[in-house]
Every structure is written in structure tokens, then in C-alpha cells.
């Protein structure tokens, strides 16, 4: 069989989608994702694709034991997401979704740091389009904040890559030496993994996208970074404590959150923390645990966000303070959501149980007992907020102000059904996942002791939450996070120093112009005429990304050849 890069298939499909009609675009998007999945499944291990880039020998595709599980799950979710969004996504969004998936697969298959960087930055650009595709001032603002912080992270990553190339004369992406450039590359990866305190971009950006866009975002950005950390920095002790902090901080914010998609976004931070901790431990079992957890997480988090998206689609509400009592109107959504909730909580029989057991056990067997207990603490918070608080306040109890105004499309149910089956299949037969992990390590999650401990943790958590259920009554709030430094502070300074324009006009005062240029309307969209801003930021970000890539290529060529 002909071997082809699944990421490139998705990128070609994205280019076709923008050129055809809406109806054709939907068919092309689903067909492209299906072909990419077939291509991913047909790739054997130890396949490499080398190419010459201005005299530099680069590796566009490296299929090995670590990249294979990430590639496969990325390809699966691309198809599921296209099915889920087939009735709601515009052509632009379909193309951006395919391109994001293609770039994500490009990252995990990249055999050198320059190829990785190119796909990495391509992903940033397509994600910006995905976020802004909701076509609201708030989503455009969130997209711009995402772009600004990720461009900074991209520059840090690029600086590390160039420095490493200068020092070692090689761009090969293997374990990165622990030195100056290693710090920069680690910083770039950790930022995209949403490591605390650089995590606030995630719960800011993901809920701002459309219902289908958020599903795509949840799969590729942080998990690409998890792969990169597992490839480049296994056994880096600092990551143990970075990961544990992410796991704990994520669940604390999730308990506070009112918006169901922000709540689930904070749980991405928390769950990625489990993976980062295991990577920090770095044993073969721990890398298996991180990979298994990342793979299962892509499947169950996608399902959770599809369920939350279905609620948002049907009711036009996403806050628990406005929801409630939807079980009777949306019973299938509830059942499918609970499959995802039981998976993320590590309930036996669902995908999260074997994956999380392996990850947490590997941290303990690596000698990190304190970290292991902190991960169990985070597991308590996960079950409390995702499987107890969110469904209780959304689907049960007294209806607050939301009612079902639109029927959930059949294709949404179909996509959620596929994801639910995948989660149950892995939960019942962990070998489906464990047989594809980087190293062959025997692990049995279904022992009497592990099942008893899991049941005890879930039952005791239920008792604790029941005791304090009145404290979890919903309030229409949002949480202040570390994004205040680039979100609230500039706005306050602008308010302090800028001149107020008359309503409906754009102030031309010098102070306003200074603030307007970097923000491009993100903080004050009402101040901008709709004409120049909307095309301006998209075109500008694309040109900026292209300039960064060209500059990187010129520098790399000079460094490696000259």
C-alpha cells in the first residue's frame, strides 16, 4: 500500500474545502478526514520521509512507537469532529478544522525541530481562525489574545531551536540536552501544554469557539505539546511539579466555574497535568502512562465538549446558573455526556480508568509518592466537578431560565455515539489502547485492589459533595486568572490614559492609537469600524506567521549549512 502523510492529506483537503460550495465542502471535509484516518492506519512503524529544504536534510514524517498512538487518535478525532460539525460549521471553519488536525499530525510526525516548528506555527494560525469563526466580538477578542500569547511562545521556541542548532549543528528532534536552548524549547512546549501559570489562554480561548470548533481545539493544541515534551524532555524532574500544579490548579478553578465549557477547559489543564507529571517521572511505564492518558483524554474530552456543545446549541445557554432540568428534554445527550464524565473520572469500564490508573501508578512506582497523592487529590476534584456538579446543575434539579429551542442535529448525536463507543471499548478492552503504547510493559488495571480503591474514591467523593451541595449552587460568575496581566491591566491603563470617544465613533487621540495598534480591536471592538478590522487582523496574523517561518528558514539555513 502507498504510504502518505495523513497530515498533508488533511491540509490538501482544507485547501479544497475553501474552493467549493458549502454542501460540497461538508462532503469533502468528512471524506478527507476518513481518507486521512485510513492513511494513518496503513502506516507501518519505522517509516521516515526525508526532504531537502534549501540544502538542509529534514524529516517530514517519522512514524515510530511514540508518534503512532498520537497520530492515530488525532486522525480519529478529525473524522469525529467533522461529522459533529457537519451541520453547523461554515466552509472557513471546516477548512480551519482540517488544517488544525493536519498541523497537529504534522507536529507529532515531525522528525526535526524545523518541520515541527513550521507545523506548530501553522496550527497557531488555524486555531486563531477556528476561535474567531464564531463571528462575535468576544470570540474575535479571544482569538487575538490567543494569537498574541502564542506568538510570544513561538518566538521563545524558535529561539531555543536556533540556539540548539548553533550549538549542536543538528536539527534532529530527539531528547533535548538540558542546557540554555533546552530551557527555551521546554518553555515553548510547556506554554502550549498550558503549564501553570501560563495556562489561562486555554479556558479563555476554547469556550470562545463554536460548539464544533472547541472539540477540535481540545484535541490538538495541548496534546501536541504533551507529545513534544514526551519526545524531548522525558525524565525532567521539574515537569513532575509543573504537572502536579496543573492538575490541582485546574480542578480548583473548575469547581468555581459557572460556564460549562470553561469548566471543561480547566479540566484540560488538570488532565494534561497528569500527563506532564508522568513525563517528568520519565520511566518507560510513565511514558506509557502519559501516552495512554493523552490518547484516552482526546477521546473523552472530545465527547464531554460535544455534550456541552449540544446543550449550548439546543438552548443558547452555557452557564449552570441559567441551565438545569434538561434531562427530560435531552436524555440522549445526558447519557452520552455521562460516558465522557465516567471516563474522565476513572470509573471502571470506561477509557479513563485503565489510562489514568497506568499514569498514576507509574508516578508512584517511579518513587514520587507525594506527586501520586496530589494526582489522587486532583482525581477527586475531577469527579466532583465533571461527573457530579456539571450534570447535576445542567440536567437535573429545577430548570432555571434555559429551555430547548432547537433540536440537536442527528450528525451531532452520531459523532457523540462514535466517541462514546470508543471510550467504552477501551474501558472494557484496555488492550486496544495498551497494545499501541511506546513500550511493551505489562499492566493490569482490573485487579481487585485497584477496583476497590477506585470505588472508594468515587463513593467518598460523592458523599463529600453531597454534604456540601448547597455550596455548589450556581452563581453567574467568571474567574480571574493569570490572563489578567494581558487582559485586565492593559484595559485599565487604556481607560486611565486614553481619551473616550463619542459612542459609535473611533477616537483618534494619540493615546488611543497607541493602544489600538497592538490590540487590533480586541479590547474595544466597538471603537473600530467593521471594515478595516475584520480582514485586517486575519490577514495581519497570516502575514506575521509567514514572516516568522521565512525568517526561521533563512536563519536555519545559515546556521546548519554555513
Partner 1 sequence: MSALEPVAVIAVFAFAASVALVLGAKWLGRIGISRPAGSRPGELGDARDDLEWSPPWEDRRG
Nearer to partner 1, 42 or 135 (CB): 135
Alpha helices per DSSP H over 259-283: 260-281
Q: Which of 460, 493, 543, 554 is in the footprint of partner 1 by CB under 8 A? A: 460
Q: Is the dihedral of CA 275, 276, 279, 280 positive or negative?
A: negative
Contact range with partner 1 by CB under 8 A, out of 46-54, 119-127, 246-254, 423-431: 246-254
444 part of the interface to partner 1, by CB under 8 A: no
What are the cell numbers at 203?
A: 479556558
Which lies closer to partner 1 via its Cβ, residue 327 or residue 380? 380
Q: Which is nearer to partner 1, 159 or 490 (CB)?
A: 490
Q: Which listed residue (15, 27, 456, 554) binds partner 1 by CB under 8 A?
A: 456
Rounded to a whole number of angstroms, the minimum distance from the CB of residue 492 to partner 1 is: 9
Q: By CB under 8 A, what part of segment 494-533 binds partner 1?
A: 522-523
Q: Can you tell me which of 175, 453, 508, 526 binds partner 1, judged by CB under 8 A?
A: 453
State the DSSP H helix or E strand holding residue 59, giving kind and residue range, or none if neither. strand 56-63
- Which of residues 142 and 422 has its CB atom nearest to partner 1 in the complex? 142
Residue 480 found at the interface with partner 1 (CB under 8 A): yes
CB 419 within 8 Å of CB 76: no
SS (H, E, C) 287-337: HHHHHHHHHHHHHHHHHHHHHHHHHHHHHCCCECCCCCCCCCCCHHHHHHH
User: What are the two backbone dihedrals, phi and then psi, of residue 319, each rounded to the nearest 5 degrees?
Assistant: -105, 135
Separation CA 434–CA 378 (nearest Å): 24
C-beta of residue 192 within 8 angstroms of C-beta of residue 154 = no
Q: CA 194 to CA 205: how far, in whole Å?
A: 12
The one segment of 8-16, 151-159, 279-287, 458-466 that binds partner 1 by CB under 8 A? 458-466
Stretch that binds partner 1, among 21-29, 154-162, 222-230, 537-545 (CB under 8 A): 21-29
- Name which of 459 and 554 has its Cβ closer to partner 1: 459
Encode 255-284: b = buried (16+ Cβ within 10 Å), e = exposed.
ebbbbbbbbbbbbbbbbbbbbbbbbbbbbe
- Kindly write out the interface string for residues 411-440 of this chain, putting x where it contacts partner 1 by CB under 8 A and - elsewhere: ------------------------------
Based on CB atoms, which residue is closest to partner 1, 456 or 547? 456
Residues 252, 332, 553, 555: which binds partner 1 (CB under 8 A)? 252
Rg (CA), the chain: 23
CA 111 to CA 7: how far, in whole Å? Answer: 14
Report if residue 270 touches partner 1, rule: CB under 8 A.
Answer: no
Joined grid coordinates for residue 326 = 434538561
Among residue numbers 94 through 113, which ones bind partner 1 (CB under 8 A)? none
What does residue 172 show for φ and ψ, rounded to 5 degrees? -60, 135
- The contact mask relative to partner 1 for 167-206 (x = CB under 8 A, - = no) is ----------------------------------------
Answer yes or no whether residue 386 interacts with partner 1 by CB under 8 A: no
Q: Are 300 and 343 in contact (CB under 8 A)?
A: yes
Biggest CA–CA distance in the chain, Å, is 71
Question: In the beta sheet, which residues pair with residue 259?
Answer: 319
- 476 forms part of the interface with partner 1 (CB under 8 A): yes
Decide: is 208 part of the binding site for partner 1 (CB under 8 A).
yes
- Out of 27, 452, 546, 551, the only residue in the binding site for partner 1 (CB under 8 A) is 452
Measured distance CA(416)–CA(339) in Å, rounded: 10
**Least Cβ distance, residue 253 to partner 1 (angstroms):** 8
Segment 26-85, which members bind partner 1 (CB under 8 A)?
none
Grid cell, residue 306, equals: 460535544
**Among 148, 44, 39, which Cα is nearest to 537's?**
148
State the nearest-atom distance from the C-beta of 460 to partner 1, in Å.
Answer: 4
Looking at the DSSP assignment, which residues form a beta bridge with residue 51? 58
Site size toward partner 1 (CB under 8 A) is 70
Of 91, 123, 199, 293, the one binding partner 1 (CB under 8 A) is 91
Beta bridge partners of 48: 62
Q: According to CB under 8 A, which one of 172, 432, 472, 544 is a site residue for partner 1? A: 472
Q: Would you list the DSSP string of 215-248?
A: HHHHHHHHHHHHHHHHHH-TT-HHHHHHHHHHHH
Does 255 bind partner 1 (CB under 8 A)? Our answer is: yes
Least separation in angstroms between residue 21's CB and partner 1 is 4
Residues 113-172 that bind partner 1 (CB under 8 A): 134, 136-139, 141-142, 145
Nearer to partner 1, 29 or 219 (CB): 29
Determine, following the binding rule CB under 8 A, whether residue 491 of this chain makes contact with partner 1. Answer: yes
Peptide bond into 218 cis (omega under 30): no
287 close to 62: Cβ distance less than 8 angstroms: no
Kindly state whether residue 267 participates in binding partner 1, applying the rule CB under 8 A.
no
Angle between helices 113-132 and 91-109 (to 10 degrees): 160
In the list 16, 152, 457, 555, the residue contacting partner 1 (rule: CB under 8 A) is 457
Residues that bind partner 1 (CB under 8 A): 20-25, 87-91, 134, 136-139, 141-142, 145, 207-208, 251-253, 255-256, 258-259, 312-313, 316-319, 321, 373, 376-377, 380-381, 384, 405-406, 449, 452-453, 456-461, 463-465, 467-468, 471-472, 475-480, 487-488, 491, 522-523
Amino acid at each position: 500500500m502507498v504510504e502518505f502523510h495523513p497530515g498533508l492529506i488533511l491540509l490538501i483537503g482544507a485547501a479544497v474545502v475553501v474552493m467549493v460550495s458549502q454542501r460540497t465542502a461538508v462532503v469533502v471535509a468528512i471524506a478527507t478526514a476518513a481518507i486521512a484516518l485510513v492513511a494513518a492506519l496503513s502506516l507501518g512503524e519505522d517509516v521516515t520521509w526525508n526532504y531537502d529544504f534549501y540544502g538542509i536534510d529534514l524529516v517530514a514524517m517519522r512514524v515510530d512507537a511514540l508518534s503512532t498512538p498520537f497520530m492515530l487518535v488525532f486522525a480519529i478525532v478529525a473524522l469525529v469532529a467533522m461529522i459533529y460539525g457537519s451541520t453547523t460549521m461554515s466552509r472557513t471553519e471546516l477548512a480551519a478544522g482540517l488544517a488544525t488536525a493536519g498541523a497537529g499530525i504534522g507536529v507529532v510526525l515531525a522528525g526535526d525541530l524545523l518541520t515541527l516548528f513550521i507545523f506548530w506555527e501553522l496550527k497557531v494560525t488555524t486555531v486563531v481562525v477556528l476561535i474567531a469563526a464564531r463571528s462575535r466580538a468576544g470570540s474575535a477578542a479571544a482569538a487575538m489574545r490567543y494569537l498574541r500569547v502564542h506568538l510570544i511562545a513561538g518566538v521563545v521556541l524558535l529561539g531555543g531551536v536556533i540556539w540548539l542548532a548553533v550549538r549542536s549543528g543538528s536539527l534532529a528532534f530527539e531528547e533535548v540536552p538540558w542546557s540554555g536552548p533546552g530551557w527555551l524549547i521546554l518553555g515553548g512546549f510547556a506554554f502550549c501544554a498550558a503549564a501553570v501559570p501560563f495556562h489561562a489562554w486555554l479556558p479563555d480561548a476554547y469556550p470562545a469557539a463554536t460548539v464544533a470548533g472547541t472539540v477540535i481545539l481540545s484535541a490538538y493544541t495541548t496534546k501536541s505539546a504533551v507529545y513534544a515534551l514526551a519526545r524531548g524532555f522525558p525524565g525532567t524532574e521539574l515537569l513532575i511539579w509543573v504537572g502536579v500544579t496543573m492538575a490541582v490548579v485546574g480542578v480548583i478553578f473548575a469547581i468555581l466555574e459557572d460556564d460549562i465549557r470553561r469548566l471543561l477547559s480547566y479540566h484540560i489543564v488538570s488532565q494534561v497535568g497528569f500527563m506532564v507529571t508522568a513525563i517528568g517521572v520519565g520511566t518507560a511505564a510513565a511514558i506509557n502512562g502519559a501516552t495512554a492518558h493523552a490518547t484516552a483524554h482526546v477521546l473523552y474530552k472530545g465527547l464531554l465538549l460535544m455534550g456541552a456543545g449540544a446543550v449550548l446549541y439546543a438552548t443558547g445557554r452555557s452557564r449552570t446558573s441559567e441551565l438545569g432540568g434538561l434531562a427530560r428534554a435531552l436524555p440522549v445527550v445526558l447519557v452520552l455526556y455521562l460516558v465522557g464524565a465516567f471516563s474522565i473520572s476513572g470509573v471502571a469500564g470506561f477509557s479513563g480508568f485503565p489510562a489514568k490508573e497506568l499514569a498514576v501508578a507509574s508516578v508512584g512506582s517511579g518513587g514520587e509518592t507525594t506527586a501520586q497523592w496530589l494526582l489522587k487529590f486532583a482525581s477527586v476534584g475531577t469527579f466532583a466537578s465533571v461527573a457530579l456538579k456539571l450534570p447535576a446543575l445542567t440536567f437535573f434539579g429545577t430548570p432555571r431560565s434555559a429551555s430547548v429551542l432547537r433540536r440537536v442535529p442527528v450528525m451531532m448525536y452520531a459523532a457523540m455515539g462514535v466517541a462514546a463507543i470508543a471510550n467504552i471499548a477501551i474501558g472494557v478492552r484496555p488492550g486496544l489502547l495498551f497494545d499501541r503504547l511506546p513500550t511493551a510493559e505489562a499492566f493490569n488495571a482490573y485487579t481487585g485492589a485497584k477496583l476497590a480503591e477506585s470505588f472508594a474514591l468515587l463513593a467518598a467523593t460523592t458523599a463529600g459533595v453531597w454534604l456540601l451541595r448547597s455550596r455548589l449552587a450556581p452563581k453567574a460568575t467568571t474567574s480571574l486568572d493569570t490572563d489578567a496581566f494581558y487582559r485586565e491591566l492593559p484595559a485599565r491603563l487604556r481607560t486611565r490614559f486614553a481619551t473616550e470617544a463619542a459612542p459609535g465613533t473611533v477616537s483618534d487621540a494619540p493615546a488611543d492609537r497607541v493602544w489600538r495598534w497592538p490590540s487590533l480591536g480586541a479590547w474595544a471592538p466597538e471603537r473600530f469600524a467593521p471594515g478595516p478590522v475584520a480582514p485586517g487582523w486575519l490577514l495581519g496574523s497570516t502575514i506575521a506567521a509567514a514572516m516568522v517561518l521565512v525568517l526561521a528558514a533563512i536563519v536555519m539555513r545559515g546556521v546548519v549549512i554555513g
